[in-house]
């Protein structure tokens, strides 16, 4: 499995924000978000192929019960099913962070699905492919039916909220599992967007998520 990095930090986003976790970040993605905050796993994928034994040894070096398998898009990795099976055998709590465009029969305690809105579509040669792939309603429904899930949307502007709501209606999603998060990799931008996004969450009953890792460490790898 191609690995960009494995590190120990606090979960920075979503319903488990603040929980000490080991992050296994795969490299490679089927999308190309314009604002991707890990371009070293998508636009310019880095990292080596690791054996499962090496990945598990790196995870075992930390005492944390929570493991977050992220990317890139970890659900496209061929070894993801076996990796999660072995993590489960070790009694770990498994979160998978995915854009929700691919299904695989993984072991998972929290499927953290982040469907990509139109604000993610880049210009240039990737535009058409990204736009065609970014929302896969049947795959989203399948993931939501198979796992405990959260739906996490990255919001850059007020129009994004309407787009997210349209998708939520189509999916008949549980509002209590919906999380809105400001887009940005700069603490100042995040603060500005958080102010109006918090009001949207109060009005609509969605959960608000900060990006704790950016606030604590800035936009740095390994955090
Ligand atoms: S899905 Fe995630 S990793 Fe892939 S391009 Fe978008 S933000 Fe980056």
Q: Which atom of ligand 1 is nearest to the CA of 43?
A: 5
* Ligand 1, pocket-test mutation among 12, 36, 153, 214, most atoms within 8 A of CB: 36
For the stretch 51-65, pLDDT in tens is 999 999 999 999 899
For the stretch 98-148, pLDDT in tens is 999 999 999 999 999 999 999 999 999 999 999 999 999 999 999 999 999
| Backbone φ/ψ region at 222: left (φ over 0), alpha (ψ -120 to 50), beta | left
Q: What is the pTM of this model?
A: 0.95
Closest Cα to atom 8 of ligand 1: 36
> What is the C-alpha to C-alpha distance for residues 136 and 122, in angstroms, rounded to an integer?
18
> What is the C-alpha to C-alpha distance for residues 44 and 50, in angstroms, rounded to an integer?
18
What are the residue ranges of helices labelled H in the chain? 52-60, 80-89, 127-133, 137-146, 158-171, 187-204, 212-217
> What is the C-alpha to C-alpha distance for residues 63 and 12, in angstroms, rounded to an integer?
19
Which segments in the chain show pLDDT lower than 50?
none
Q: What pLDDT score was predicted for residue 216? A: 83
Alpha-carbon dihedral sign for residues 218, 191, 169, 116: negative
Span from the CA of 193 to the centroid of ligand 1 (angstroms) = 20
The contacts of residue 202 (CB under 8 Å, 6+ apart) are none
Residue 114 Cβ contacting ligand 1 at under 6 Å: no
* Ligand 1, pocket-test mutation among 47, 116, 153, most atoms within 8 A of CB: 116
Q: Are 88 and 94 in contact (CB under 8 A)?
A: yes
């Amino acid at each position: 499995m191609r690995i960009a990095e494995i590190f120990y930090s606090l979960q920075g986003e979503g319903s488990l924000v603040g929980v000490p976790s080991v992050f296994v970040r795969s490299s490679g993605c089927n999308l190309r978000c314009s604002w991707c905050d890990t371009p070293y796993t998508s636009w310019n994928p880095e990292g080596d192929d690791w054996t499962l034994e090496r990945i598990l040894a790196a995870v075992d070096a930390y005492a944390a019960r929570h493991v977050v398998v992220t990317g890139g898009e970890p659900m496209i990795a061929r070894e993801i099913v076996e990796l999660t099976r072995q993590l489960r055998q070790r009694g770990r709590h498994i979160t998978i962070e995915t854009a929700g465009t691919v299904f695989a029969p993984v072991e998972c305690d929290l499927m953290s699905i982040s469907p990509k809105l139109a604000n993610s579509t880049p210009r240039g040669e990737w535009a058409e492919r990204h736009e065609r792939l970014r929302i896969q309603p049947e795959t989203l429904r399948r993931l939501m039916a198979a796992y405990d899930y959260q739906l996490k949307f990255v919001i850059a502007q007020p129009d994004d909220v309407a787009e997210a709501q349209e998708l939520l209606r189509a999916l008949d999603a549980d509002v209590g599992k919906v999380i809105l998060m400001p887009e940005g990799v700069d603490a100042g931008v995040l603060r500005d967007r958080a102010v109006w996004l918090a009001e949207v969450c109060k009005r609509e009953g969605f959960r608000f998520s900060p990006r704790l890792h950016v606030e604590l460490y800035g936009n740095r790898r390994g955090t």
